[in-house]
Amino acid sequence: MDKILFSEQQILDRTQLIANQINQDYKDKQLTLIAILNGSVVFFADLIKKITIPMQIDCLGVSSYEGTKSTGNVVFRQNKLQDFTDRHILLVDDILDTGLTLKATTEKFLNETNALSVNSCVLLSRKNNKHKLLIPRYTAFEISNEFVVGYGLDYNEEFRNLPHIEIFR
Ligand code: XMP
């Protein structure tokens, strides 16, 4: 049990606060939330159920990790994005480490769509990483350097189904 970093209830409580903020910030704006797959899938599903303003969703498969290490290479599983004219984009990801994944994804949306804005929302962010390439607009929790799994986060595609977040040992 001591491996558990955040329980399901802690995550849901924090997600509610973030959803409240999104409801305020994007009131009267056309909002599309984009799930960065696969890691954000559980967080994304819980987050969108708590958003009460009109919104749309879409998904994008992105990968940069093998095991517990970044490859340093961001790979998109889909090349062509929708147009998103007049819409505000909020990218939703599981964890921000160096920021490489979200920076590359943000740039892809800015360069390849007509979106009015591109911001991001992450479940976790590493607090020790002082040289992040991107600061997300919303962060649920900050963590240290430990590798974590559960609630969508994986080690070689396993453990995504755990209902909480735990330290991988
Ligand atoms: P960057 O460095 O691009 O890394 O910000 C973000 C991506 O790295 C993966 N990542 C993890 N995945 N447990 C995971 O399951 C972790 O502790 C972890 N740290 C980084 C993740 O895919 C994220 O999108």
Q: How far apart are CA 21 and CA 27, in angstroms?
A: 10
Atom 10 of ligand 1, nearest CA residue: 95
Residue-wise pLDDT tens digits, 90-122: 999 999 998 999 999 999 999 999 999 999 999
Task: Name 125's bridge partners.
Answer: 96, 142
Alpha carbon of 65 to ligand 1 centroid (Å) = 7
Ligand 1 atom having least distance to the Cα of 39: 22
82 sits in the region (left: phi over 0; alpha: psi -120 to 50; else beta) called: beta
Distance 50 CA to ligand 1 centre (A): 25
Identify whether the C-beta of residue 76 lies closer than 8 Å to the C-beta of residue 108: yes
For residue 28, report the distance from its CA to the centre of ligand 1, in Å: 33
pTM for the full predicted model: 0.94
Rounded to whole angstroms, how far apart are CA atoms 37 and 62? 6
Ligand 1 atom, smallest distance to 74 CA: 3
The answer to whether residues 109 and 126 touch, using CB atoms and an 8 Å cutoff, is: no
Give the active site residue among 83, 93, 94, 97: 97
Distance 102 CA to ligand 1 centre (A): 10
Q: Binning pLDDT at 50, 70 and 90, where does residue 74 land?
A: very high
pLDDT in tens, 17-70: 999 999 999 999 999 999 999 999 999 999 999 999 999 999 999 988 677 777
What is the distance between the terminal CA atoms of the chain, rounded to a whole angstrom? Answer: 13
The pLDDT value recorded for residue 80 is 87
Sequence-separated (6 or more) residues with CB below 8 Å from residue 30: 54, 56, 86, 87, 88
CA pair distance 6, 23, nearest whole angstrom = 24
Ligand 1 pocket, Cβ-based, cut-off 6 angstroms: 39, 64-65, 70, 93-101, 147-149, 153-154
Pick the more confident residue, 131 or 2: 131
Is 97 one of the catalytic residues?
yes
- pLDDT of res. 2: 65
Task: Tell me how far apart the alpha carbons of residues 88 and 31 are, in angstroms, rounded to a whole number.
Answer: 5
In a 13 Å sphere around the CA of 168, the CA atoms on its Cβ side amount to 17
Confidence at 131, pLDDT banded by 50, 70, 90: confident
In contact, 105 and 74? CB cutoff 8 Å: yes
